[in-house]
C-alpha cells in the first residue's frame, strides 16, 4: 500500500470520528432544550380485555349489591377552598396511600406519564409531562398532547367522584376518599377532554364512550372499581354494563 493511500485512510477514520462527536453534541443539546424523552410504545394506552377476563368481571358485577335506583346523597363538594367540603381532598395530591402515592409527583403527571406514549418531560424535572401522544379510549382518536393546551387531555375517574359519593363514599374516612381520587391503578384514565366533560358524574346508564370498540373494556374497568371499593350498583347501571359486556 502506498503512503498516500495510508494517509487517505487515516483521514477517513478521523472524519468518521469527528462526525460522530458532532452528532453526539447535537443530541445532547437537543435534550437540554426539550427535556427528557421517555421511550414508550405507540400502542393503545389501555390494554384490551380478553373474553375470559370480561366473563370473570361480569360474574363479579352480578355478585354486587344492587340498588333499585341511584341514591340522592347530599354533601359532595370537590372544591377545597375556605368553606368548601373538599370531599376527596386536594386534586391530584401525592400525599395519599394510593398507588404512586408519595413518589414525589402529582397524580395527573403520573397518569399522563404511564398512559401516553412518546412522553416528554420538562427539562431538568422527572415528573412534569409537557408533551406526549394519547390514543384516546373514549373517542378512538389520537391526541398530540402539549402542556400549553392541557385541557385537551383530562384525567377521568372511571366511576366519578360524585357518583361514588352517592353510592356510599360519603361514609368513608377522608383518607380513604383521598386514596380513591388518586388511584392510578384502578380508577384513573387519561382521556379526551371534551369527552370527559360530557360524561360529568354520569353512571353507565347515562353515558358510555362513543368509541364502541371500548365498551367491553369500559364495562370491565367500571366494574373493577365497584368491586375493589365494595360499592353497590344501581339497577339501570348494571343493565348498561351487562349490555356492554355482551360486546366482548
Sort residue 232 into left (φ over 0), alpha (ψ -120 to 50) or beta: beta
User: 5 lies in a domain?
Assistant: no
User: 7 lies in a domain?
Assistant: no
User: 18 lies in a domain?
Assistant: no
User: 202 lies in a domain?
Assistant: yes
| Domain extent for 203 | 35-245
User: What's the total number of domains in the chain?
Assistant: 1
User: 227 lies in a domain?
Assistant: yes
pLDDT-derived band of residue 69, with 50, 70 and 90 as boundaries? very high
User: 12 lies in a domain?
Assistant: no
User: 140 lies in a domain?
Assistant: yes
User: 106 lies in a domain?
Assistant: yes
Length of the chain: 248
Q: State the Cα–Cα distance between residues 69 and 238, nearest whole angstrom.
A: 11
The pLDDT tens digits for 198-231 are 999 999 999 999 999 999 999 999 999 999 999 9
The pLDDT tens digits for 170-198 are 999 999 999 999 999 999 999 999 999 99
Task: Look at 169 and 12; give whichever has higher pLDDT.
Answer: 169
> Which H or E run contains 161?
helix 161-167
Q: State the Cα–Cα distance between residues 232 and 61, nearest whole angstrom.
A: 9
Amino acid at each position: 500500500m502506498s503512503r498516500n493511500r495510508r494517509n487517505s485512510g487515516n483521514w477517513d477514520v478521523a472524519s468518521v470520528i469527528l462526525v460522530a462527536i458532532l452528532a453526539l453534541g447535537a443530541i445532547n443539546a437537543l435534550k437540554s432544550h426539550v427535556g427528557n424523552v421517555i421511550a414508550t410504545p405507540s400502542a393503545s394506552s389501555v390494554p384490551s380485555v380478553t373474553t375470559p377476563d370480561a366473563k370473570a368481571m361480569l360474574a363479579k358485577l352480578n355478585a354486587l349489591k344492587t340498588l333499585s335506583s341511584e341514591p340522592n346523597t347530599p354533601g359532595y363538594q370537590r372544591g377545597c377552598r375556605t368553606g368548601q367540603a373538599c370531599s376527596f381532598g386536594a386534586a391530584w395530591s401525592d400525599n395519599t396511600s394510593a398507588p404512586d402515592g408519595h413518589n414525589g409527583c402529582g397524580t395527573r403527571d403520573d397518569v399522563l406519564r404511564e398512559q401516553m406514549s412518546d412522553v416528554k418531560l420538562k427539562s431538568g424535572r422527572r415528573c412534569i409531562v409537557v408533551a406526549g401522544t394519547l390514543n384516546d379510549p373514549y373517542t378512538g382518536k389520537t391526541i398530540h398532547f402539549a402542556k400549553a393546551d392541557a385541557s385537551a387531555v383530562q384525567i377521568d375517574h372511571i366511576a366519578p367522584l360524585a357518583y361514588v359519593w352517592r353510592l356510599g363514599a360519603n361514609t368513608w374516612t377522608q383518607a380513604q376518599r383521598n386514596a380513591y381520587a388518586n388511584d392510578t391503578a384502578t380508577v384513573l384514565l387519561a382521556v379526551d377532554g371534551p369527552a370527559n366533560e360530557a360524561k360529568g358524574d354520569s353512571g353507565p346508564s347515562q353515558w358510555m364512550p362513543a368509541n364502541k370498540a371500548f365498551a367491553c373494556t369500559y364495562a370491565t374497568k367500571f366494574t373493577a372499581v365497584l368491586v375493589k371499593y365494595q360499592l353497590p350498583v344501581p339497577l339501570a347501571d348494571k343493565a348498561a354494563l351487562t349490555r356492554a359486556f355482551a360486546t366482548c
